[in-house]
């Protein structure tokens, strides 16, 4: 008598299913049907939104890479010797891979890999990628091919460096998208989840996908964190203070003191207007604002407006006048001080540096010192963001802003910055949210990252062209109100911070800008990247920083590092000691309730709460 083979979905004959199993199957079927209906509805709405804009709505080349790709492929075709060499290199790589695979099958985990992931590549954390021979081959085959493709296109002769850089960047984006980790049937973690949840993760993932498409208004907006867990002014940006001045571009916040006395010279922050200011004031334990208050500093901070179409014609000079100058004058009036210490973060640093050079020409000495976080003044080595300054891409940005009433929408900016770290900020969430069916975890930093601002047309195009494209400030060609600016004339004390792994303001780029100033400058290199390298309170005891005792700025970053000493933890305390030299005597603490400029509303103000 032959044994009846299981035919039910849980390895049980259909006739022997229990009531609990039948209920589980029915529940899963309902969940799948609901999720598929939601996904179809959201995807349909997305398609209708695109087609409603006309036949040109779906752009086959949204990043305008085709002209550069044509140059690179023509260069490769014109050099058959290099093409043959590249093919041979790939063939040899696969020979090593198959040899390694044969050893792995025969000897277990003792075989030497033909290719290994780069340090810090988190996609391959699962033990299955190394211990399971099948997944190990999939991993190495992908790495071998993707590395070969990017390197081959990057090393074509007879093509300008800009074109090769563009092609290599977007080729890597494509290679990252096709990584086996991003597909259910080639990701061991997803397969394991399918078995353990009996496919329920698929239903949850489809619901998450539908929700993200709906939240994006028909455009996929990947959730990086649980946005409902945070509220600006309650969970983040919650340090007490008052808005004591505002105009069309800024609200100026004065924070409530936490000490009985404060340093005479206040600190005035100019954060980037590309993001919201509260990266400097997340939670109490990692808020730079609160940390400075607790050390007796009087802190003022600019909160930029989240611009709309009414701001499309605002110029760089407007941001200087209504931003830097207006905030400076209000801070001096409110504090009664004669000078302020200033801080510029990222693009806010470029604006501050330009203003300092202009003020020098005007004989204006109301700024005592300047600190810069991850700020570039020389854009020769500005990194991957240079990809988005070609003529074709600038024309595309202008077209998008015109179609949107004169502003670049926040989602486009988020997409660009996420692309710079696609595996961490895009594909890891695709896997977690859609393939594994998990909900994103609450994380204050990722909430801030998702709270993007719009950008007005005139100043944004000016910044991309004059700073990134023309490198006008570094080259001495930037003219403001008839004055040609020269950072070499800026002789006030400067504290310059860079981060070793910064992908937005690379170490080498920030260092070149530091060498442009004409006065005393202290340079610090922090561990980690554009955000974590800056927002690293001493209490966290994370990362490290490098300093030179002589404050010298030799020719290259390698020369600087050779004479620098590594210190554990945060650089904030070194900065605080430096600020102490430029902050004057102690005075009675300044309460925003008692100043000549009366509070308009409590911090963090209303400008920062406007969502894009």
Q: Is 1 exposed, middle or buried (0-12, 13-18, 19+ CB in 10 A)?
A: exposed
Looking at the fold, whether 28 and 91 belong to one and the same domain comes out as no
**Does 174 score more than 70 pLDDT?**
yes
149-153, 260-264, 440-444, 490-494 — which is least confidently predicted? 149-153
| pTM of the predicted model as reported, rounded to 2 decimal places | 0.88
Please give the residue that has the higher pLDDT: either 64 or 549: 549
Q: What band does 8 get if pLDDT is binned at 50, 70 and 90?
A: very low
- Cα–Cα distance, 333 to 244 (Å, whole number): 11
Structure-block tokens of residue 461? 């195009």
Q: Specify whether the CB–CB gap between 271 and 301 falls below 8 A.
A: yes
Give the Å distances, CA to CA, from 234 to 24, 229, 592, 603: 41, 10, 20, 11
143, part of any domain: yes
For residue 463, what pLDDT is reported?
96
**Does 589 score more than 90 pLDDT?**
yes
Which residues are the active-site residues? 346
280-289, 421-430, 589-598 — which is least confidently predicted? 421-430
- For residue 526, the cross-strand partners are 499, 545
Q: Which of 65-69, 146-150, 363-367 holds the top average pLDDT?
A: 363-367
604 cis-preceded (ω within 30 degrees of 0): yes
Q: Which DSSP symbol is given to 297?
A: -
Give the Å distances, CA to CA, from 197 to 12, 192, 551: 17, 9, 58
- Cα–Cα distance, 150 to 143 (Å, whole number): 11
Q: Is 54 exposed, middle or buried (0-12, 13-18, 19+ CB in 10 A)?
A: exposed
Give per-residue pLDDT as tens, 346-400.
999 999 999 999 999 999 999 999 999 999 999 999 988 888 888 888 998 999 9
Three-state secondary structure of 442-480: CCHHHHHHHCCCCEEHHHHHHHHHHHHHCCCCCCCCCEE
Q: What percent of the chain has pLDDT over 70?
A: 89
Average pLDDT along the chain: 89
Radius of gyration of the chain (CA): 28
> Phi, psi (5° rounding) for residue 17?
-65, 135
58, part of any domain: no
> Phi, psi (5° rounding) for residue 588?
-60, 140
228, part of any domain: no
535, part of any domain: yes
Nearest to 367 by CA among 306, 324, 316, 421: 324
Looking at the fold, whether 509 and 575 belong to one and the same domain comes out as yes
Helix crossing, 66-77 with 161-177: angle to 10°?
A: 100
- Domain end: 218, 233, 266, which one? 218
For 363, left (φ over 0), alpha (ψ -120 to 50), or beta?
A: left
> Phi, psi (5° rounding) for residue 525?
-110, 125
Looking at the fold, whether 96 and 160 belong to one and the same domain comes out as yes
Give the Å distances, CA to CA, from 184 to 435, 478, 598, 603, 606: 6, 52, 59, 46, 44
208-217, 257-266, 294-303, 561-570 — which is least confidently predicted? 208-217
Domain of 141, in residue numbers: 66-182
Give per-residue pLDDT as tens, 81-123.
877 888 888 888 888 888 877 876 776 656 678 889 988 899 9
Please give the residue that has the higher pLDDT: either 89 or 301: 301
362, part of any domain: yes
Please give the residue that has the higher pLDDT: either 523 or 421: 523
Looking at the fold, whether 311 and 206 belong to one and the same domain comes out as no
Structure-block tokens of residue 76? 């490769």
Q: Which helix or strand (DSSP H or E) is residue 169 part of?
A: helix 161-177
Q: Specify whether the CB–CB gap between 579 and 341 falls below 8 A.
A: yes
Mean pLDDT value of segment 455-481: 96
8-17, 316-325, 557-566 — which is least confidently predicted? 8-17
For residue 500, what pLDDT is reported?
96
Q: What band does 186 get if pLDDT is binned at 50, 70 and 90?
A: very high
Residue that is written with structure tokens 């790495």 in the block = 143
Q: 3-state class of 436 per DSSP?
A: coil
Looking at the fold, whether 178 and 317 belong to one and the same domain comes out as no
Q: What band does 1 get if pLDDT is binned at 50, 70 and 90?
A: very low
509, part of any domain: yes
Looking at the fold, whether 203 and 263 belong to one and the same domain comes out as no
Looking at the fold, whether 177 and 205 belong to one and the same domain comes out as no
> Phi, psi (5° rounding) for residue 538?
-55, -35
Give per-residue pLDDT as tens, 489-536.
999 999 999 999 999 999 999 999 999 999 999 999 999 999 999 999
- Cα–Cα distance, 524 to 564 (Å, whole number): 9
323, part of any domain: yes
What's the number of domains the chain is made of? 3
Looking at the fold, whether 70 and 158 belong to one and the same domain comes out as yes
Q: What band does 17 get if pLDDT is binned at 50, 70 and 90?
A: low
**Does 43 score more than 70 pLDDT?**
no
235, part of any domain: no
Looking at the fold, whether 41 and 178 belong to one and the same domain comes out as no
Opening angle at CA 444, ends 441 and 445, nearest 5: 105
Looking at the fold, whether 495 and 571 belong to one and the same domain comes out as yes
Looking at the fold, whether 158 and 245 belong to one and the same domain comes out as no
The percent helix, strand, coil of the chain (3-state, each to 5) is 50, 10, 40
CB atoms within 10 A of CB 80: 9
**Does 590 score more than 50 pLDDT?**
yes
Looking at the fold, whether 253 and 369 belong to one and the same domain comes out as yes
Residues with Cβ within 8 Å of 507's Cβ and at least 6 positions away in sequence, in order, are: 498, 499, 500, 525, 557
Residue 517 sits in a domain of what CATH number?
Answer: 3.40.50.1820
């Amino acid at each position: 008598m032959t044994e009846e083979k299981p035919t039910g979905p849980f390895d049980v004959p259909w006739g022997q299913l229990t009531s609990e199993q039948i209920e589980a199957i029915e529940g899963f079927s309902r969940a799948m049907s609901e999720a598929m209906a939601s996904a179809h509805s959201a995807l349909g709405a997305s398609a209708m939104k695109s087609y409603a804009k006309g036949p040109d709505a779906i752009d086959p080349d949204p990043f305008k890479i085709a002209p550069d790709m044509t140059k690179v492929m023509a260069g490769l075709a014109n050099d058959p010797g290099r093409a043959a060499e590249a093919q041979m290199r790939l063939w040899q790589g696969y020979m090593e891979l198959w040899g390694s695979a044969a050893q792995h099958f025969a000897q277990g985990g003792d075989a030497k890999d033909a290719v290994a992931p780069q340090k810090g590549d988190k996609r391959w954390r699962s033990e299955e990628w190394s211990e399971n021979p099948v997944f190990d081959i999939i991993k190495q085959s992908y790495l071998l091919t993707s590395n070969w493709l990017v390197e081959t296109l990057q090393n074509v002769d007879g093509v300008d460096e800009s074109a090769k850089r563009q092609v290599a960047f977007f080729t890597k984006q494509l290679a990252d998208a096709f990584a086996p980790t991003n597909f259910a049937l080639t990701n061991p973690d997803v397969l394991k989840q399918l078995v353990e949840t009996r496919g329920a993760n698929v239903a949850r993932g489809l619901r998450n996908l539908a929700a993200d498409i709906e939240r994006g208004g028909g455009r996929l907006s990947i959730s990086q964190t649980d946005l409902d867990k945070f509220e600006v002014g309650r969970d983040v940006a919650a340090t007490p203070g008052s808005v004591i001045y505002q105009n069309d571009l800024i609200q100026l916040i004065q924070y409530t003191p936490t000490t009985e006395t404060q340093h005479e010279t206040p600190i005035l922050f100019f954060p980037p207007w590309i993001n919201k200011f509260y990266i400097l004031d997340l939670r109490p334990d990692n808020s730079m604002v609160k940390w400075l208050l607790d050390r007796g500093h009087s802190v003022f901070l600019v909160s930029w407006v989240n611009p709309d179409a009414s701001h499309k014609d605002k110029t760089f000079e407007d941001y200087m006048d209504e931003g830097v100058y207006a905030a400076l004058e209000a801070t001096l009036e409110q504090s009664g001080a004669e000078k302020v210490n200033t801080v510029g973060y990222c693009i806010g640093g470029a604006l501050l540096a330009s203003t300092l050079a202009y003020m020098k020409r005007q004989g204006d000495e109301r700024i005592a010192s300047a600190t810069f976080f991850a700020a570039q003044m020389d854009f020769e080595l500005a990194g991957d963001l240079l990809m988005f300054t070609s003529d074709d891409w600038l024309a595309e940005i202008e077209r998008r802003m015109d179609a949107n009433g004169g502003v670049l929408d926040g989602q486009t900016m988020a997409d660009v910055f996420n692309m710079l770290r696609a595996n961490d900020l895009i594909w890891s969430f695709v896997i977690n949210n859609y393939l594994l069916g998990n909900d994103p975890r609450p994380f204050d930093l990722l909430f801030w990252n998702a709270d993007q601002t719009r950008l007005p047309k005139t100043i944004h195009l000016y910044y991309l062209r004059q700073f990134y494209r023309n490198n006008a400030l570094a080259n001495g060609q930037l003219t403001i109100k008839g004055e040609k600016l020269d950072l070499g004339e800026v002789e006030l004390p400067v504290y310059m911070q860079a981060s070793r792994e910064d992908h937005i303001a690379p170490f080498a780029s920030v260092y070149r800008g530091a060498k442009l100033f004409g006065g005393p400058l202290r340079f610090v290199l922090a561990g980690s990247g554009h955000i974590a390298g800056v927002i690293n309170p001493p209490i966290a005891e994370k990362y490290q920083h490098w300093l030179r005792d002589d404050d010298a700025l030799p020719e290259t970053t390698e020369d600087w590092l050779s004479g620098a000493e590594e210190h554990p933890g945060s650089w904030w305390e070194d900065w605080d000691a430096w600020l102490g030299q430029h902050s004057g005597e102690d005075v009675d603490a300044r309460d925003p309730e008692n100043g000549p400029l009366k509070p308009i509303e409590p911090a963090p103000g209303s400008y920062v709460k406007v969502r894009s």
